[in-house]
Amino acid sequence: MRTHEMLNQEYKVLTLDSRRTPMHELISTMLSHRTNHADEVNAYNTMLERFGDWEGVLQASEEELADAISTTRYPGQKAPQIQQTLRIIKEERGDINIDFLADMPLEEAMAWLTRLPGVGPKTATLLLLFNFKKPVLPVDTHVFRVSQRVGLIGAKVTANKAHDILLDMLPKDATTLFNFHKHLFWHGQKVCTWSYPKCEKCVLSGLCNYYNAVRAKGIDRAA
């Protein structure tokens, strides 16, 4: 796919190495919802400093946990979701550990994860790709917006459907999918921003539907 090749050149190809344990990735991704990275990291560290480990987080009162993660948005919703998730993992697996997902077939692992409170397809695919190198594609707001503007997906496609459409266009290889996700994420953060995309600096302008249809004709507004 041309978009993928051009962004590989622009941002360089990365090696897929998980920096965080699966439990760290799962809970951090839950904390990150509508929250910037620094505040998510702050909440994660505060939570473990105060309660010691996952068992301590599980045993804390809901109010104490909400206070520890108060740098994130919606701590009052996230605290019970995190505790319920930890409780389910412990009850089902006997331990607060999700390393078993490495050996679970992909569809089963997706279904298991998305049954957890506060875990949707985006969190599940991030975890399965980053930590277990399974061939899925996390479609967050940046990946979705850039894909739509370039024209890889149609204007009426939902985020869940976008996952299947984009996956069909790419090799089912975890490193490729990781790079595609990361590159579109960065591109959406830095260049193809929501409010005013910097099309004049964009390597994708030559193949971008939005640029050709709107910006090149001088209509000065965001998609």
Of 109, 195, 211, 221, which one interacts with ligand SF4 (CB under 6 A)?
211
65 binds ligand SF4 (CB under 6 A): no
205 binds ligand SF4 (CB under 6 A): yes
The answer to whether 123 and 112 are in contact (CB under 8 A) is no
Of 79, 137, 152, 192, which one interacts with ligand SF4 (CB under 6 A)?
192
The answer to whether 57 and 49 are in contact (CB under 8 A) is no
The answer to whether 136 and 125 are in contact (CB under 8 A) is yes
Stretch that binds ligand SF4, among 6-14, 109-117, 168-176, 190-198 (CB under 6 A): 190-198
Give the span between the Cα atoms of 148 and 54, in whole angstroms. Answer: 39
Nearer to ligand SF4 by Cβ, of 5 and 103: the residue is 5
If you compute the radius of gyration of the chain from its CA atoms, what whole number of angstroms results? 19
Number of residues that bind ligand SF4 (CB under 6 A): 14
Placement of tokens 């940046």 in the chain: 142
User: Which residues here bind ligand SF4, judged by CB under 6 A?
Assistant: 146, 149-150, 191-192, 197-199, 202, 204-205, 208, 210-211
